[in-house]
Chains A and B, each alone.
Chain A
Amino acid sequence: MLRFLVRRVIGAIAVLFAISVLVFLIFNVVPATNPAARIAGKNATPQLIKNVEKEWGFDKSLPAQYWTQMKLIFTGEVQSYNAHINIDKRIAEGIPATASLCIGAAIIWLSFGILFGYLSAVRSGGWLDRGLTVLALIGVSMPVFWLASILLYYFTYKIELFPASGYEPLSNPGKWFSHLILPWISLAVLFAGFYSRVLRSSMLDVMNEDYVRTARAKGLSQRRVMSKHVLRNSLIPVITLFGLDFGVLIGGGAIVTESLFNIEGVGLFTAEALKQQDFPSIMAVTLFGAFFIVLFNILVDIAYAYLDPRIRLGTSAT
């Protein structure tokens, strides 16, 4: 276990390093505009641009620039090119909004995904199964802005049930909830559809295993076999998926949802940084996001070994 952890952590650090180099190369080898010229402003003299270059270190070699950039990010002093804001602080401020969005949506999609998947598998082949399959396929195929714009138009404009956008801190639970309910639904529908399908096919596979036949032969009721024996083992792939998806979202992956609903989280900050090509911000949010993906990858492996004793960490997870 310890050896496994050490190896995975070293691997994770290597992946994060590779990602940071990749982002650095994307924005430096494929140069868009001269960042110094942009910081200096519209009517900058060549001398001013030179000064800015010197001040921000753009005249140094690429490895040196990379080193400075990384040092700034990890010491919490990294500054945006455009507005002189501290990026690490800005990301930290976005975490509560992103976490509220992701956790709430996750509760919704897990509940509905598992419920629908279970019903679908238990009644497989029947009308309920077919109906739920169609619903799930529609859910998976739905572009997030299609649902979001319909929800926004109908609930915030036509019947004015919910406020349009923005994020309210948790200190005011009522407002917090009413601002988040539509984003939660928009985000959750896709995942709920997908998870119900994954659970359904996983349950159908497990239902053919020998131990399920044994459980039936022992005379256990259908309900007990399904809920205690089949569901438990079928949930393993769902949990795997959940860990990975949640890792992406909590690291600011819900870029579109946060932009559509103007939730000032990490995702919205990412979208803004990309639009303004603010390289330090992009570097910071990418590392932030990748960190969570890598972290949840490791967590999923551990959870996996714990849930399914047939898997030994040392051998299978290479």
Chain B
Amino acid sequence: MSPDSEKPGAEAVPGGPGTASPGTVTGDPELLSEVQGETGGDGQRGGPWAIAWRRLRRNKFALFALGVFLLIVICCLLAPVWANDVAHTGPNQTHTLEKLREGGEVKEVVEPSGKAIGPQFFDAGGKFFLGADGHLGRDEMVRLLYGGRSSLFIGVVAAIVTTILAVVFALLAGFYGGWTDTVISRIMDVIWAFPVVLLSLALGIVLAVGGLVIGPLHLKSSSLWIPTLIIGFVYTPYMARPLRGEILAFREKEFIEAAVAQGAGPTRIMFLEILPNLMSTIIVFFTLNIANNMLLEAVLSYLGAGVQPPSSSWGTMISEGFEALYSQPLLTIIPGTAILLTVLSVNVFGDGLRDALDPKSKVRFEARAGTTSEPDAVGPV
């Protein structure tokens, strides 16, 4: 048997301009049977969104993950309630010399050795639910909730920034082609070859010192917007490239030709004809992007280039906790676990979304070297 016989036919070159080679059906037997079942049974009712929604609803695992994520978001939004009514303290309030009365016992919040009190849960009426954070004696639970607000804000808003930038650049590059495409693609290439962590660290450190001034807009160096914009910016090519590939494929389709024949202008074609067709890809990328953003935020903050004091985030908490890893491992593990749970729930839900919206897995690979468009690429290490 010559090895040639093992190779597939010459059609459907992966990663040609048409990234989604039509006609390839995903091999996932579960999905396959679903798709077939739906075309035969009740699946014909409703448009593609209705079908996707039905498919998602059946994926209990993904819905559970969405529930976990929403729960985490709600908890963090309610941080002031916990701080004012349960813990009676603020995220930056120190309790170095205070004592805690529990039943008949009196405990010091911070021992003379500098070791802080451990988790009390409801023993002290909710005070120091997860203990205190090192020698300053701040309430860990309150800090965790407030830190989560920063982390989630950065994760979600940076994903919005990435999506807007990527969609605009991809539409311009993919639709106009020619010089516009060349210029945008080359800029993307440069950012692409720049190690993500390094670029964001460099920007983060420079801006953390000087702040950012763009015309009338002045961002203070401690503003949460600085890490948000940086993270949103550095992930843009990872989303813009695969989108551009899809647009290139759409440009050749008949419905665009029909729109042109009707006399539609470029804006109309880009936003009313092409954009709706990209929605499923955008939604999947957006979701999985949130997870990566939160991981990058943690790394930036850990290295001192992300969220700046007096704000705190899960990343800054890990950074502070790591210094006392051996005496108080919980101070690193608690915020770390918070990140893990949030990112995991986003990833599981995003995965379910992808299966529901995109059963032909066209988002999975643009198999051309260097342009893997798997949206949930490995986060910063």
CA distance A157 to B376 in the complex (A): 34
Find out whether the CB atom of B194 lies under 8 angstroms from the CB atom of A201: no
B347 interface residue per 8 A CB criterion:
yes
B141 contacts partner chain A, Cβ-Cβ < 8 Å:
no
**CA of A309 to CA of B14, assembled, Å:** 11
Closest to A164 in B: B326
Q: How far is the CB of A225 from chain B (nearest CB, A)?
A: 10
CB distance from B298 to the nearest CB of A (A): 5
For residue A244, CB closer than 8 A to chain B, the reply is yes
**How far, in angstroms, from A241 to B368 measured CA to CA in the complex?**
11
Chain B hits for A138, CB < 8 A: 340, 344
B186 CB → nearest A CB, Å: 8
Given known A-B contacts A23-B202, A27-B206, A140-B347, A211 and B6 have beta carbons under 8 A apart: yes
Q: Give the chain B neighbours of A194 by CB distance below 8 A.
A: 374, 376-378
Task: Indicate if the CB atoms of A208 and B206 lie closer than 8 Å.
Answer: no
Q: Which of B344-379 contact A (CB under 8 A)?
A: 344, 346-348, 351, 361, 364-365, 367-370, 372, 374, 376-379
Q: Which of A39-47, A65-73, A87-95, A287-295 contacts B (4 or more CB under 8 A)?
A: A287-295
B110 CB within 8 Å of chain A: no
Min CB–CB distance A100 → chain B (angstroms) = 16
B27-35, B70-78, B159-167: which lies at the A interface? B27-35
Q: Given A124-B28, A229-B6, A277-B205, are A289 and B198 also a contact pair (CB < 8 Å)?
A: yes
- With A125-B29, A191-B378, A256-B380 already in contact, the answer to whether A31 and B210 are too (CB < 8 A) is yes
Q: Contact: A248 with B195, CB < 8 Å?
A: yes
B14 in contact with A310 (CB, 8 Å):
yes
Q: A15 contacts B332, CB within 8 Å? A: no
Q: Tell whether, in the assembled complex, residue A255 and residue B329 are in contact, meaning their CB atoms are under 8 Å apart.
A: no
- Minimum CB–CB distance from A163 to chain B (whole Å) comes to 14
B206 touches A290 (CB 8 A): no
Q: Which of A55-63, A169-177, A268-276 contacts B (4 or more CB under 8 A)?
A: A268-276
User: Cβ of B265 < 8 Å from any Cβ of A?
Assistant: no
Give the distance to chain A from B338, nearest Cβ to Cβ, in Å: 10
Q: Which of B26, B203, B368 has the most CB of A within 10 A?
A: B368
CB distance from B114 to the nearest CB of A (A): 17
Q: How far is the CA of A22 from the CA of B318 in the complex (A)?
A: 31
Which residue of chain B has its CB nearest to the CB of A194?
Answer: B378
A contact patch SS: helix
A270 to B344, CA, bound (A): 29
Closest to B27 in A: A204
Chain B 282-319 interface 0/1 with A at a Cβ cutoff of 8 Å (1 = within): 00000000010001001100111100000000000010
| Number of residues on chain B facing chain A (CB within 8 A) | 73
Contact A143 B295 (CB under 8 A): yes
Question: Is B337 part of the contact surface with A, judged by Cβ < 8 Å?
Answer: yes
Which among A191, A256, A286, A300 has the highest number of chain B CB atoms within 10 Å?
A256
Is A19 within 8 A of B28, CB to CB? no
* Contact of B381 with A144 in the complex, beta carbons under 8 Å: yes
Contact residues of A between 119 and 153, Cβ < 8 Å to B: 124-125, 137-138, 140-146, 149-150, 152-153
Contact check, A137 vs B24: say whether CB atoms are below 8 A apart. Answer: no
**Apart from A146-B318, A255-B198, what 8 extra A-B contacts exist at CB < 8 Å?**
A30-B210, A137-B347, A149-B318, A152-B325, A240-B372, A256-B197, A274-B305, A289-B195
Interface residues, chain B, with chain A CB atoms under 8 Å away? 5-10, 13-16, 24-30, 186, 189-190, 193-195, 197-198, 201-203, 205-207, 209-210, 291, 295, 298-299, 302-305, 318, 322, 325-326, 329, 332-333, 336-337, 339-340, 343-344, 346-348, 351, 361, 364-365, 367-370, 372, 374, 376-381
26 contacts between A and B (CB under 8 A): A15-B190, A19-B194, A27-B202, A27-B206, A124-B27, A124-B29, A125-B28, A145-B332, A149-B322, A205-B27, A207-B27, A208-B25, A208-B27, A210-B8, A233-B6, A236-B367, A240-B369, A241-B374, A252-B198, A255-B303, A271-B201, A275-B304, A277-B206, A286-B198, A293-B193, A316-B368
